[in-house]
Structure 1
Amino acid sequence: MQAGLIMLCLAYVLSQFFRAFLGVLTTVLGQDIGATPADLADASGMWFLSFAAMQLPVGWALDKIGPRRTAAWLLFLGGAGGAAVFALASNPFHVSMAMFFIGIGCSPVLMASYYIFARQYPVARFATLAALMLGMGSVGNLVASYPTAFAVEHLGWRATLWGLALASWLVAAGIFLTVQDPAKPEGDHKGSVLDLLKMPVLWAIFPLMFVCYAPSGALRGLWIGPYLSDVYGLDTGEIGLAALVMGVAMVAGTFVYGPLDRMFGSRKWVIFGGNALAVLALGALIAVDGAAVWIPVAMLALVGFLGGSFPVIIAHGRAFVPPHLVGRGVTLLNFFGIGGVGIMQFVSGRIHASLAIGADPAAPYLAIFGFFAIALLLGCAIYLFSRDSME
């Protein structure tokens, strides 16, 4: 199982990479195929929406088929196939289509590891293990920054995508050969996602799950590139360095969040406190408009650091899920988390398009930062009604 978890971790490195690399490709895709920031926002949104839409069937497949075949086949068909479509893209629609397929390919890999953790490890350790996997996989976020900018500048973006297609194929094969499906719970248990949706204890968790990852995921995944290019005139390499700083902060935040629930004896207040601070960080990002470039980069890094509560919120919700519905439980929570980024990315693209014609190049981005801050604030307010759990 250790070898299988390593392969799933490598697959999650690819997943983190694919959700974050468009920001670095902003300039070259605009020059080569005429892709605008709004086009890339749609493409990024397609990744998150297809990923989210797959969570419900992936949850069923984890419970019924097991993580080995579910993760291997989807990564092979969607991940490798989508990267190949991207490499052949000649217009923005092709990029959106490729990202749609890649989202499908990436959709099972993190949940497959979470399924194994839930089946084979003590419940109290779930948040720490989940954060550890998320943090290690977030190396992909780092690779999607300066290293990708370097590869694109020296090899070209099409050759880079062909390399990613090959990497996806090899990792999918590794998953199929090494992952072992956990034993299923004894007894004839029946149930569905509808049973989970009928649980009032989860209702106050879903809204924060929907908005918690959107600011860091959307800003790092796309908007950091156009923002620093349009407002500060940074080139591809410089944007890559800034994205690397934010990516490192996101990895650090994930590792820091992991053990905090056990340290403080509460998941609810760790989650609420971190996301409340993230609202303030987004407000600070608006307030530093016009400052030296390192200041907004630092604020973006702070947003990324504070946005690492994702696995702890999943652990909070997972504590209320019955054992025979673990696969569907974690994927339902992930559905809200990833789906929220996709929907909010589409909205942010429309915000940018509506304000980009103005004289102030910073205006679209300040509006996007404000939109994320308000959404996260509402999620925090609803989350106050949730019930804490350390089970």
Structure 2
Amino acid sequence: MSPKRGAQEEHQMQAGLIVLCLAYVLSQFFRAFLAVLASVLARDTGAAPDDLAAASGLWFLTFAAMQIPVGWALDRFGPRRTAASLLFLGGGGGAALFAMATAPLHIKLAMLLIGVGCSPVLMASYYIFAREYPPARFAALAALMLGVGSVGNLVASYPMALAIDLIGWRAALAGLAAISIAVAAGILALVRDPAPVANGAGGSVLELLKLPVLWVIFPMMLVNYAPAAALRGLWIGPYLEDVFGLGTVEIGQATLVMGVAMIGGTLAYGPLDRLLRTRKWVIFGGNFAAALALGLLVALIDTSAVLSVALIALIGFLCASFPVIIAHGRAFFPPHLVGRGVTLMNLFGIGGAGIAQFASGRIHEHMAPSGTTAAYVAIFGFFGLMLLAGTLIYLFSRDSLD
């Protein structure tokens, strides 16, 4: 933190980061809540698992596509206006549209809008961390924001299942639209933009893409988040219902367990790079172990619901190295391209999750006639092989610890 910053400025920055964290809670909620809604949406709108996979994929791919303009806007206009305007229009508008959905198409359009709304909130806070705090603290601060914001992952599990039973899913989504608008107003009022840097509006993503050191980090970023995002946000619900016959409340409890594990993993990864004096081997070890856990899940696909939930929670824990990977790439960004750098990394991370959602939906559609178990073996096997491939490419990366 800059020693020149006064106490009042520090308090204002902290207030802004708190409201950005609230926005990130919403982002985590929206990427994960479809798993709990699967049965009621099938009943009320006719949405099949393949429709929900496409809707979830649209959220991730729209979110990813927005990272290029969001990165430019962060460097050009700052995090305050960028995050507030997009969350207001996309988050509030998308949740309102979802609340009125009567067909799978409406759900897909709503998730697309919500993806736009959620796209800047985490990167706005990462931009502030990168600009206002020492580089060596970036991974720990990024993990803390990710871990605390992942409370939204928990709310999207058992509490959302209870809300569906108590007030219905439409009322819950209407409430979320109002909350999104209120949080956007809070961002506009409380977030303080860092001071501009020389050439802050200049340069482009192409400068970053010309750095060979990043090209062996990008594949790791592409595959790291995808298995946990797809399991937590979509497949854990249909899998536990189809293979073990669990109901909405039990699925909500299982997603809660996975959500807690993901938060624990994020907070555990945060300080490890400084404790072990390496980023590369922290990231490699965790993701290689996650690929092995996916292999075990495939091998024990229908053995026990409790064992499957435990393995899924372990995968969520081990795949939580997202902020450390961003910190690894951050070490190689020029100062005037920090906004575009962190959003480029996020594009790979969220884009990989979106591609995996679409691919897994097609796999399910293709394999379902062969039997329920075969479909999930194929889906989870695909995630494991994808993660293993990215992890092996990452072996050629250069370590960084600044």
* Deviation, structure 1 residue 186: 3.5
In structure 2, what is the Cα distance between the partners aligned to 1:386 and 1:189?
Answer: 29
In structure 1, what is the Cα distance between the partners aligned to 2:321 and 2:215?
Answer: 18
Give 2:70's match in structure 1, choosing from 22, 41, 58: 58
Matches for 1:145-160 after TM superposition, within 5 Å: 145-160=157-172
Q: Do the aligned partners of 2:198 and 2:336 also contact (CA within 8 Å) in 1? A: no
In structure 1, what is the Cα distance between the partners aligned to 2:267 and 2:199?
Answer: 37
Question: Aligned residues, how many?
Answer: 390
- Return the letter of the residue paired with 1:14: L
- Return the letter of the residue paired with 1:351: I
In structure 2, what is the Cα distance between the partners aligned to 1:272 and 1:155?
Answer: 44
Give 1:270's match in structure 2, choosing from 246, 270, 282: 282
Q: Do the aligned partners of 2:76 and 2:200 also contact (CA within 8 Å) in 1? A: no
Q: Residue 271 of structure 2: SS of its match in structure 1?
A: helix
* Deviation, structure 1 residue 188: 7.0
Give 1:34's match in structure 2, choosing from 9, 32, 46: 46
Q: Is 1:80 the equivalent of 2:92? A: yes
Output one character per residue of 1:296-317: Cα deviation in whole Å (capped at 9) or x when no partner. 0000000000010000000000
- List structure 1 runs of 4+ shifted beyond 4 angstroms: none
In structure 2, what is the Cα distance between the partners aligned to 1:211 and 1:121?
Answer: 28
Aligned to 1:286: 298
Q: Residue 25 of structure 1: SS of its match in structure 2?
A: helix
Give 2:397's match in structure 1, choosing from 363, 386, 389: 386
* Structure 2 CA distance for partners of 1:296 and 1:188, relative to 1, 3 Å: closer
Aligned to 2:111: 99
Aligned to 2:59: 47
CA RMSD, 1 decimal? 0.8
Aligned to 2:178: 166
User: Where does structure 2 lack aligned partners over 5 or more consecutive residues?
Assistant: 1-12
Output one character per residue of 1:343-377: Cα deviation in whole Å (capped at 9) or x when no partner. 1110000000111123x321111111000001011
Aligned to 2:8: none
In structure 2, what is the Cα distance between the partners aligned to 1:109 and 1:91?
Answer: 29
Q: Is 1:331 the equivalent of 2:327? A: no
User: Where does structure 1 lack aligned partners over 5 or more consecutive residues?
Assistant: none
Matches for 1:90-129 after TM superposition, within 5 Å: 90-129=102-141
In structure 2, what is the Cα distance between the partners aligned to 1:344 and 1:26?
Answer: 18
* Deviation, structure 1 residue 152: 0.5
- Given the two structures, how large is their TM-score scaled by the length of structure 2? 0.96
Output one character per residue of 1:118-176: Cα deviation in whole Å (capped at 9) or x when no partner. 01000000000000000000000000000000001111110010010001000000000
Q: Do the aligned partners of 2:92 and 2:180 also contact (CA within 8 Å) in 1? A: yes
- Percent of residue pairs identical: 69
* Deviation, structure 1 residue 290: 2.2
Q: Residue 314 of structure 1: SS of its match in structure 2?
A: helix
Aligned to 1:376: 387
- Return the letter of the residue paired with 2:128: I
Matches for 1:186-265 after TM superposition, within 5 Å: 186=198, 190-265=202-277
* Structure 2 CA distance for partners of 1:189 and 1:80, relative to 1, 3 Å: closer
Once structures 1 and 2 are overlaid, which stretch shifts more, 280-289 or 317-326?
280-289
* Deviation, structure 1 residue 289: 2.0
Q: Do the aligned partners of 2:70 and 2:119 also contact (CA within 8 Å) in 1? A: yes
